[in-house]
Homo-oligomer: A and B are copies of this chain.
Amino acid sequence: MSNPIDAYIQENRPRLLDELKDFIRIPSISTLPEHKADVERAARFVSGSLQRAGMENIEIVPTAGHPLVYADWLHAPGKPTVLCYGHYDVQPADPLELWITPAFEPTERDGNLYARGAVDDKGQMYMHIKAIEALRAVNGTLPLNVKFLIEGEEEVGGASIAKYVAQNSAKLKADVALVSDTAMYAEGMPTLCIGLRGLIYMEVEASGPARDLHSGLYGGAAPNAVYGLIELLAKAKDANGAIQIPGIYDGVEEPAAAELESWKRLPFDEREFLEKEVGSTELTGEPDRTVLERVWSRPTLEVHGIAGGFTAAGAKTVIPAKATAKVSIRLVPRQDPDAVIAAFREWVKKNAPKGIQAEVRVLSASPGLVVNPDHPAIEVAARAFGEVFGKQTVFIRSGGSIPIVGDFANHLKIPTILMGFGLPDDGLHSPNEKYRIENYYLGIMTVAHFLELYGG
């Protein structure tokens, strides 16, 4: 522990964790209108933390949705500028009854911190602020220029930040963006993520009869909205998960042979993945693709929820008039979101069963993307990992979506370093989400090392 930054972080462990717990206790669920005040409280928490870390020009930027938090420190002329991004909003915590300890009361167990948002993304975005604090506390200054842009709508499609980035490219000018919202490939294995899937999130609503009908009197002749939606959606994939919508695979770019080779060298135990992570009897998906290909470089279609008809306890014999499903398509590089949406709409129109009207509403859309691993900032990030972990960095992709990375590429023309400290079993979006506490400290160190190295 010769590095004084690392020493500072070690000395301040309890306080660094307590502050994060205070942040996590705010139930900033962006998709639920009843949590609007909590989301705003989380934005104020972030701005306060940035201030205490020594950041300047702090703004809470109102938007049509939830506020953005901006800050900068620009006193390193001639040095590069890093744009730190994260999100302070979280997913809903339901089903609440499956949490061992309350979702918004961060609890330490076995070296982990359990709470909604522990790893996605409060725990990870907070590392950036704490790395700045550590650098300023030890050195009295920063080794390069830093900007922060933190959003509160990542879990609901990020419409406001997308607009803000498009309209404020001069203000946000930077050499590289730094994002910690991904996972390490495995514990103790420093990882840079260089590819993400995009996401189209939609609602499909089916209408059958004008009103709920008695299934005795009309069953056999009247269309059923729930069954119509079932029939429609069942045609979307074959038994192996291959999407059956014409044109959906247009543009899909296969990873280069070298990248595919590197994935084969990664430790991957399919049985452990099945039993410990998925917890099912069998994996699904395209049989001619490895599991890593299926989740990293192949488009997929999922139904996230479905509701219609009578679902309370007991029996009600209705033919339901309406049913709705939440459907997403994950996109990989070179697929065009607009073309995929058009193909989906066309397919719904052609495949809606007899007597069923189906309406498609698009809630959000973002493309998949890959970052060039030879970019100098990526190379420096790998060196920072090496200093802190004493190991070589692996390059992976993630099947998740971080739409902002596409916005940074399009509007700011900068690459993004996806320096994640989550673990594969952290349970993002699930009950009992957790964050490895050690990774929180290692993350603060690695970010600080990266900023020092990149500042030269």
Contact = CB atoms under 8 A, between A and B. Distances in A.
Interface of A: 30-33, 91-92, 94-95, 98, 155-157, 183, 197, 199, 201, 208-224, 226-227, 230-231, 233-235, 237, 239, 241, 273, 277-286, 291, 294-295, 298, 300, 302-320, 323-326, 328, 330, 353-355, 357, 363-364, 398-401, 424, 427-432
B316 A400 contact: no
Contact of A216 (B216, B319, B330): B330
Specify how many copies of this chain sit in the oligomer. Answer: 2
B220 A241 contact: yes
A303 B313 contact: no
Contacts of A201: 315, 317
A226 B311 contact: no
Given A213-B429, A221-B278, 10 more contacts: A31-B312, A92-B316, A215-B302, A217-B398, A219-B302, A223-B283, A227-B237, A230-B303, A304-B318, A315-B363
Contacts of A32: 312-314
A211 B427 contact: yes
Contact of A280 (B215, B222, B278, B312): B222
In this complex, which of A30, A157, A226, A306 has the most chain B Cβ atoms within 10 angstroms of its Cβ? A306
A311 B322 CA distance: 14
A316 B305 contact: yes
Nearest to A299: B220
Contacts of A278: 209-210, 213, 218, 221-223
B364 A209 contact: no
Contact of A318 (B224, B239, B291, B430): B430
B295 A430 contact: no
A33 B314 CA distance: 10
